[in-house]
Each structure stands twice: as C-alpha cells, then as structure tokens.
Structure 1
Amino acid sequence: MQATVETPEPTPAQRFGALVHEAAGRAGYDLTPGAGGRLALARDTGMSASAVSRMLRGETLPRPAQFQRIAQAVRVELPDLLVRGGVISPDSANDLSQGVRSPITPEGALDSWGIRHPVIRKFLLAAIAQAIDLQQESERGTHTQR
C-alpha cells in the first residue's frame, strides 16, 4: 500500500500571484528576469518593485488599496481578479459590485446637500480644493506647521 502525498491547497497569496503573473503576461508585461516587465508593472500599479516581486512569487497579497490599480494594469475586471485570485468569494464579489459607487466629487456633494447658490458653491469648492491640497502635502511630508 502506497501512501498518497496530498498537495496542499495554494494560499490566497499564491493563487493571486499566479493569476496576476498570467494576466500581466497577456497584458504585455515581459516578466522574465531582466526584461523590465516587473518594473513597468510596479510603475503602473504604484507599488514598489520588491512588493511586485513578492506578490508575483505568491509570498504576499498587495494592500487592499492597490487591487484596483493592479486590475487596471493587467486588464482584468476587479471582481474577477479578487475571486479568481482567492481573495474574496463569488458571493462577496456580487455584494461588492452592487455596493460600489464612483467616488463622490465635491460638486456632487454640494448637489446632494442641495447647495445651489453660486457664491456659496464657489466658496465651498475652493475650501475643499485647499483641504485636498493640504492633505496631499501632509501625506508627502512637505507641509510645514505655520
């Protein structure tokens, strides 16, 4: 009687890495060593080259905020990428697609709040733009205290 050796089920990171590797190749990224495809994928996804390499080797999953850019870069719909990659279940993908909305714009917020007066709109839009600039400066570490 021979003992059977069971192959362990791949981890979500391994499944995701294999899927992205395959899709990236189809999308035109040459992932062979030294070809530059990993660096191009890193650039196009906003990830570091080392993070892309770890992801493609199935060692780690990317941060949730990176999934959308990865999907765009490798030309796979986000829900399909997450389900086939083993990150979420098909039921979760259905919930996700029903609940996903485009990000609200400042103008959309003012519309939803019923603010129609042009002077008030102009004032609030300028304040929102300034707040966004300050936030971005803060995240870059370039804002100094006054």
Structure 2
Amino acid sequence: METNPPGTEDTPVQRFGRIVSEFAINAGYDLTSGSGGRAALAREIGSMSPSAVSRMLDGKTLPMPHQFEGIARAVNSDVRTLLVEAGVISAKSWPKDANTVVRSATPRSQPPSPEDAADAWGITNPGIRSMLIGSIKQAIRLQAETDGAVPRRKAAAKG
C-alpha cells in the first residue's frame, strides 16, 4: 500500500472510497470512466444511485449505514472488513469474533438507548456516532408512527 507524505493522510471517507474501489475491482467491476462499472455496482448494491456510488468511490462521501451491507455483498466482502480496513472504525471496536447482538446494561424490559447501541458497537467518531444515533432515533419514530397508525384507523372506522 502506498503511503502519503506527512501531513497529507487520507480521511476515513477517502480511505473507505479507496478500499471499496479495490474490492470492487477485485470483484470484477471495471471502474474506468465510461465502462459502466460504477452503474453496474450501483445496481448490485441496490440502494445507491450511480452518482452516489461515484461520490463514495471518489472519497467524497460515506454511504448511509443501511447501505453498508449492500456494498459489502456487491464487492464480496463483509461490513466489518470494509469499515476496519478503511479506518472508519478500529478493529478493537468490532472484534472478528464479536457477538453481533447489541447488549445493554439496562433491564431486558427496556431496549437500549441509541447512545447505548453506539457505545456497544464502539462507535467513537463524533460524525459516525451522530449519524448512527440519528438513524436509530428516526427508525424508532417511524416505527412508533407505524404502530400508532393501526389503532387510529380502527377507531376512525368504528366512528
């Protein structure tokens, strides 16, 4: 692996793009301009547009958390390898033999808080942590709306 001159180290976003590019090329995608490889990768991922894939591969943006599995599947890898290799998370924060169930010190009757989940996964980078916590909170709100919509419809139908 080539190294950068001191003071010009890649950011985690740039490293992630480079790692995914390397894995994609090894998986058979031709990422050269005009080859259609980036569009093919986007189709295989399923949840990203070709322009979003290009921005990711160019080291300009990180994908959303829900896109990591599709990316890993498309490039014949796993999420942990991509995130650790790119330096987005440390190998200590997600050991290879780790049980992937999020555990919390809170009683089983209460789900872990979004902050507890981030702590359990060892997510310490402020940007990544904020993104994860925000995504969890949004998912909780959407589920509550979905769960709450059923009784309201029944009540309205009765009236």
Q: What is the TM-score normalised by the length of structure 2?
A: 0.57
The residue number in structure 1 matching 2:73 is: 72
- Matched residues in 2 for 1:18 and 1:41: separation? 15
Unaligned runs of 5+ in 2: 103-145, 147-156
- Matched residues in 1 for 2:61 and 2:28: separation? 23
Residue correspondence of structure 1 range 18-57 to structure 2 within 5 A: 18-46=18-46, 47-57=48-58
Amino acid at match of 1:28: G
2:82 corresponds to 1:60: no
The residue number in structure 2 matching 1:12 is: 12
Q: Deviation string for 1:13-57 (max 9, x for gaps)? A: 100000011110010111011111000101111201111000000
- Matched residues in 2 for 1:52 and 1:60: separation? 9
Flag the structure with larger Rg. Answer: 1
CA shift for structure 1 position 95: 8.1
Percent identical across equivalent pairs?
55
Q: Deviation string for 1:52-88 (max 9, x for gaps)? A: 0000000110001111110110011221111001211
Unaligned runs of 5+ in 1: 102-134, 136-145
Contact map agreement 1:79 1:97 (CA 8 A) in 2: no
Q: What is the TM-score normalised by the length of structure 1?
A: 0.62
Higher relative contact order (CA 8 A, sep 6+): 1
Query: What is the root-mean-square deviation of aligned Cα atoms in Å?
Result: 2.2
